[in-house]
Amino acid sequence: MMLPEPRRRPGPRPALTVLLAAPRGFCAGVDRAIRIVEEALKRHGAPVYVRHEIVHNRFVVEGLAAQGAVFVEELDEIPDDGRPVVFSAHGVPRSVPDEAMRRRMFTLDATCPLVTKVHREAERHHARGRHILLIGHAGHPEVVGTMGQLPPGAATLVQDAEEARTVAPPAGLPLAWTSQTTLSVDDTAEVVAILAARFPGIAGPAKEDICYATSNRQAAVKGIVARGAEVVIVVGAPNSSNSVRLAEVARRAGARDAVLVQRGAELDPEALAGCATLGLTAGASAPESLVREVLDRLRESFEVTVEDVVVAEERIAFRLPPALAAE
């Protein structure tokens, strides 16, 4: 896709301070998932099949497709030709690897290890006879994957505080809660508090389920708003849960507006007229190149000064599956 040529305003451009949130962009789980597809293509050539978008960013998906990745929604779209099949970072129901094994497919699991942790946690609660209240968004692939680790009826979805106040789990069973990894930290804390008040003794995870990257990126957004960001731009896809949550967090933290864009060409600088201090971040599945596009777009209309706002440093890295480990 060709980007439009930069358009410079005639005359002096207004000054704009951009507070650049850190951490932002790719997390360790996203980086690992993309590397799995790239390494599979390098070792085995094209095509490499990927069930669902490997991460929720169409530019990442299009880039991998250009290298030979073929994205499908279900295994029945994949021929029995022995080619590698990658499961996305969001995780899959247990039925998917079971079907792949039945068909003797060569599979590579790109599920984020922190999502896998939630799967194992849900299984342990179920094994102990607990009914699980899963905090998450209906239809999100991660929620579908987590609920798919359990027998039908073993978990009940709780999407928000309102549902937490009214949910009616099966009577007579001990309860446990777990959550999607990409939720709002504050919203989840509210839901958990309601569940704990309604169901004393409900078990929770030994360590919170919302992943470090989600927590850090939300804290960074609060940091740039606290530093005076009037508007926050979030680079990310509309189907990316963690990106949408960042925009919500910005508004709740006090920004007068938050704008979700997928790349620089989508940004209308005219909509920022009168804004002197802008916040900029990116969801965990958005590459840094798209952040740079947004900065370039802003420079077409403003005299931009960039200031980094760092709230945490991330040094976590996840290993590739054994089948792709360095030989």
The residues that are catalytic are 142
Q: At which residue do the structure tokens 């309604």 appear? A: 198
Interhelix angle 113-127/28-44, rounded to 10 degrees, is 110
**Are 262 and 291 within 8 A, CB to CB?**
no
